Amino acid sequence: MPHKNFLKPSTLVISVGGSLVVPSGGIDTAFLKDFKKLISNHIKSGWRFVIVVGGGGTCRQYQAAARAVGKLTSEDIDWIGIHSTRLNGHLMRTIFRDIAHPVMVKDPTRPLSKWTEPVLIAAGWKPGWSTDYVATRLAKRFKAKVVVNLSNVDYVYDKDPNKHSDAKAICEMSWKDFRKIVGNKWDPGMNVPFDPIASRLAHQSGISVALLNGKNIKNLNDFFSGNEFVGSVIGGHDA
């Protein structure tokens, strides 16, 4: 079931799942080209974008290698993930170098001066905090009412669609109901639509999250253009 968009041109925070940038087969340059073109086109309509990048296949590969060789703490695993997001973030900043702020944000709480460009790139912060949380912190900071979370699935489901053929898509859900699904604890590498700590902050801050499939560029274009789109909205009126 498609949604009608509720956005007007402003500052929009996008959390780009690392699996879109670096799936298991390597860096997806086709996605990066399409994504840059999409963002560049909507800048002309008055949008400013904060793009937060996840770790993806880079993260998973390094974490698996570290686990195979030594006994690691949760913090060790988290730091590998954080540096993976920063590598992917530098890749994204380089791709957008003609329209992006030259410095990538690694701490969403630090003062940011002289951001005049239409694009700002951000990545992981410190152990215990995912890129979803960084995106939500930045949305709160820039008074953005929506975080756009891009992954490789069309909707949030009531259970894992890869494991359950009867999984049902959820178009809209309150924060209260969503948080019952994801819980309240963050673990490095956990696979949830939007992380529990970020969900709590978004809920408390009155921020909604729109979850869309980043591979469907036409659908993303519809979303940014104010047309009907396919995806899930968490929060809505209860945010």
Asked, for residue 4, whether it belongs to a domain, the answer is no
Asked, for residue 96, whether it belongs to a domain, the answer is yes
Asked, for residue 21, whether it belongs to a domain, the answer is yes
Instruction: Give the pLDDT confidence score for residue 80 in this predicted structure.
Output: 94
Instruction: Round to whole Å and give the CA distance between 130 and 149.
Output: 13
Asked, for residue 41, whether it belongs to a domain, the answer is yes
Asked, for residue 3, whether it belongs to a domain, the answer is no
| Tens digits of residue pLDDT in 90-104 | 999 999 999 999 999
Q: Say how many domains are in the chain.
A: 1
Helix axes 196-204, 131-141, angle to 10 degrees: 20
Query: Of residues 3 and 193, which shows the higher confidence score?
Result: 193
DSSP symbols for the chain: -PBPP---SSEEEEEE-HHHHS-TTS--HHHHHHHHHHHHHHHTTT-EEEEEE--HHHHHHHHHHHHHHS---HHHHHHHHHHHHHHHHHHHHHHTTTTB-SS-BS-TTS------SSEEEE---STT--HHHHHHHHHHHTT-SEEEEEESSSSEESS-TTT-TT--EESEE-HHHHHHHH-S---TT---SS-HHHHHHHHHTT-EEEEEETT-HHHHHHHHHTS-B-SEEESGGG-
Instruction: Give the pLDDT confidence score for residue 117 in this predicted structure.
Output: 96
Predicted confidence band of residue 239 (pLDDT cuts 50, 70, 90): very low
159 burial via Cβ count (<10 Å: 0-12, 13-18, 19+) = exposed
Among 205, 206, 174, 210, which residue's Cα sits nearest to residue 193? 210
* Stretch 123-137: mean pLDDT: 92
Asked, for residue 123, whether it belongs to a domain, the answer is yes
Q: Is the pLDDT of residue 72 over 60?
A: yes
Residue with structure tokens 């079931």?
A: 1
203, 132 contact by CB (below 8 A) = no
* Stretch 11-21: mean pLDDT: 95
* Stretch 60-69: mean pLDDT: 93
Query: Of residues 28 and 128, which shows the higher confidence score?
Result: 28
Predicted confidence band of residue 236 (pLDDT cuts 50, 70, 90): low
Asked, for residue 169, whether it belongs to a domain, the answer is yes
Question: What are the residues whose beta carbons fall under 8 Å from the beta carbon of 170, sequence distance 6 or more?
Answer: 155, 156, 157, 158, 232
Q: Mean pLDDT of all residues in the chain? A: 90
Instruction: Give the pLDDT confidence score for residue 9 in this predicted structure.
Output: 61
Domain that holds residue 119: 11-238
Portion of the chain with pLDDT greater than 90, in percent: 68
Asked, for residue 179, whether it belongs to a domain, the answer is yes
Q: Is the pLDDT of residue 86 over 90?
A: yes
| Tens digits of residue pLDDT in 176-219 | 999 888 877 766 556 678 889 999 999 999 999 999 999 999 99
* Partners of 219 in beta bridges: none
CATH number for the domain harbouring residue 16: 3.40.1160.10
